[in-house]
Amino acid sequence: MKHSAAGEAQFAGVVDSGVVHVQTCLAAGGHQYCCRARRGARPKRREAGLSATAGKARSVLSMVALISTARLVLEPFDSICARALRARLEGDDEREAWVHLCQALAERPDMTSAWIVYRDGRALGAVAVMLVADTIGEIGFLVLRSERGQGYGREAVGAVVRHAFTHMGLHRLAGATPAADPAAAAVLERCGFQREGLMRGSYVDGGAHRDCWLHARLATDQELVLVQ
């Protein structure tokens, strides 16, 4: 897998085990992050599907807040955080996810918010939210293989979900997981996402078209309670 300078500053095409994908990025040819989002950035033209009512959500997206949980600290994505996580990437799946995440941030910095997930100063993953329409977003996450199985994905995603509904003014969050990766689907479902359907052949992996499960959660759904 080649890594160009652009690729280094490019998050997640659909890859297995621990990565959930932001569908808009997939559709655009890049997907669930290496530039800090420009504070207060505004696009030169209005994207299709976005109206003036999306202004508040877009403004909040461009000013990412630090989020803390019982075990984790989620820091806004910047070059220092980027290096901390990139140094721990293992295998082509994690590196590919990284490239697509960074690409999403670089291409649409005013529409994407991302956090690097830390525990005790150790970078172990990332979470991103992209605004795709009025008060509608898509969420993606990456947990390093060496850190999986400890509930970090659920804890980090749950914190970002709360933040998105409470502070970003979103009404709906969607996420997609590879049909062959039940662990990634379980993370979203434990965070209150409902499985809405199978998206057949929705991404290409290893030269073959693969299926994804689509999940979504609404701000009006039952209050999110996470069990550690």
The domain limits of the chain are 9-218
Q: What pLDDT, on the 0 to 100 scale, is given for residue 91?
A: 86
Nearest Cα to Cα of residue 31 among 123, 98, 131: 98
Half-sphere exposure of 79 (CA within 13 A, CB side): 2
Cβ atoms of 191 and 157 closer than 8 Å: yes
Half-sphere exposure of 33 (CA within 13 A, CB side): 34
CA dist list (Å): 210 to 17, 146, 188, 215: 14, 25, 19, 16
pLDDT averages per 10-residue partition of the chain, 228 residues? 32 36 31 28 36 49 80 92 90 83 80 93 94 92 94 96 93 94 94 96 87 96 62
Half-sphere exposure of 70 (CA within 13 A, CB side): 8
The CATH homologous superfamily for domain 9-218 is: Gcn5-related N-acetyltransferase (GNAT) (3.40.630.30)
**What pTM was computed for the model?**
0.74
Which three-class secondary structure state does DSSP give residue 109? coil
Question: Which residue do the tokens 């299926």 mark?
Answer: 211
Half-sphere exposure of 164 (CA within 13 A, CB side): 32
Structure tokens of 6?
């652009």
Whole-number Å distance between alpha carbons of 131 and 133: 6
Nearest Cα to Cα of residue 159 among 222, 66, 80, 84: 66
Q: What pLDDT, on the 0 to 100 scale, is given for residue 10?
A: 31
Q: What pLDDT, on the 0 to 100 scale, is given for residue 55?
A: 52
Q: What pLDDT, on the 0 to 100 scale, is given for residue 101?
A: 83
The CA dihedral of 50, 52, 58, 59, to the nearest 10 degrees, is 170
